[in-house]
Structure 1
């Protein structure tokens, strides 16, 4: 994407309050925010204004069918969107439709209960959290998911990474690459803000710098909190 900047166009699909897009806007990138909630987009505009940034372009739209013109954006990204859909394939197809040939997709997936991918940091910094998550999962099974749809227990799925890769290729990236890999190895510290500031953040910073020096280093499954879906639309993809 650095080769295309500053002419590249970015879309945060399912932007929420737009905190991710503020980092790009602060670097002069052309960003568009799309979300199903108009209130969330108003909050995003307020966040941009508070940081002294130009008001972003916003669109009230469904991530599965945005109504935006095809082949409009060079990069589509979001954090924590795909896991909220029982069937994320319509969202993936929409991102492929909106991307220009050669465009990139960057989607962070936060699974329903990531204990099997983040047991080590949770054991160290938040040892009671796995029991809470496991109790919540069994309550959903016994009572039905619809009985527990509160602000803290919204729908989250836990599909395998290979499944996302398969769906992504079916959506139209065949002939180019896509990858879903472990991501974000350090868990948020609920125990102490000071512990998070003085222990977790320095560890994360060291990991980031090491990854910059050795780009092929991957996050271990045992400490991954999220998954990262990366894909590139084929340069010779047919018109939608």
Structure 2
């Protein structure tokens, strides 16, 4: 399926970024029907992956299975100094630059809102350090970040995972996340649009799943935890990061918060009901100069391995 110049060129650029048909048309300088036909052949052969995001479809080089192995071997045969390949790479950088400008525009429009929230709790660096400590330093195979936002969780774990997927409902936020991953040169992570209550992903697929500052936006947090638990492999870990109970009512109207934080027993109850064993609960309380929101972290394991363990940690 890849034994044709155009398809090899497609594989070469899809090795470096997730791209739409429109992007690929611009990069390769070929018509949309021609590009679509070649992509279909590559997808049917398992050499590229595709996922829908609203009215767009994104493609990337297959990273797993026989198709991923074949694609990798084919790419090793390409000469990176070939004039056509180099020109494609230059045009790819133009597409990436345009994406980055668009993402930065969206980010700038909402920066004040996000800064207002961040000012109410401990610095993000402290939260990220706690997240890394709770999940530990052992390598993670497959990571899922539900409600990925800017893609920050994927960024900080990209060096310790085989593959990461970020899910978000907002195309604008996915654009920001995708631009951030590309800017950081991260190729083992991708983002896609999805409904966190009903994710189009296989059962038992992930070693670790993160719900970072997501549950307080939801009507049904328990359902989101159940869906995350469905996707965990035996012994897999679910990490929830959110706020402890608070009384900042303005967050409901000004920032669309549905819930004003969660008591520890509420989240742990959802985890238990979903077949998970809560093991860690930590809190990061602000000092008087940092704000009024306490950040809580909960980690639970799939009971199929963890039910014999009772080493729950609270700090």
Say if 1:189 and 1:11 are closer, same or farther in 2 by CA, change over 3 A: farther
Distance 2:266 2:246 in 1: 17
Match of 1:162 in 2: 265
**Runs of 4+ residues over 4 Å off in structure 1:** 1-4, 187-191
1:63 deviates by: 1.0
- 1:141-180 matches, within 5 Å, as 148=253, 150=254, 152-173=255-276, 177-179=277-279
Structure 1 contact 21–31 (Cα < 8 Å) conserved: yes
Match of 1:69 in 2: 202
Structure 2 contact 164–188 (Cα < 8 Å) conserved: no
Distance 2:240 2:136 in 1: 18
1:168 deviates by: 1.1
Match of 1:225 in 2: 294
Task: Answer with 1 or 2: which has the greater Rg.
Answer: 2
1:158 deviates by: 2.7
Number of aligned residue pairs: 172
Say if 1:184 and 1:3 are closer, same or farther in 2 by CA, change over 3 A: closer
SS at match of 2:178: helix
Deviations 1:31-56 (A, max 9, x none): 11111112211211100111222262
Higher relative contact order (CA 8 A, sep 6+): 1
Give the TM-score, by structure 1 length: 0.62
SS at match of 1:235: helix
Match of 2:284 in 1: 184
Match of 1:18 in 2: 151
Distance 2:288 2:168 in 1: 26
Give the TM-score, by structure 2 length: 0.48
Unaligned runs of 5+ in 1: 115-132, 138-144, 192-222
1:18 deviates by: 0.4
1:157 deviates by: 3.1
Q: CA RMSD in A?
A: 3.0
Structure 1 contact 109–227 (Cα < 8 Å) conserved: yes
Distance 1:105 1:19 in 2: 17
SS at match of 2:298: strand
Distance 1:26 1:46 in 2: 18
SS at match of 2:204: coil
Deviations 1:47-84 (A, max 9, x none): 01112222622221111111211110000013101121
Say if 1:3 and 1:21 are closer, same or farther in 2 by CA, change over 3 A: closer
Say if 1:3 and 1:225 are closer, same or farther in 2 by CA, change over 3 A: closer
Distance 1:26 1:73 in 2: 17
Deviations 1:201-226 (A, max 9, x none): xxxxxxxxxxxxxxxxxxxxxx9711
Distance 1:108 1:2 in 2: 15
Match of 2:236 in 1: 103
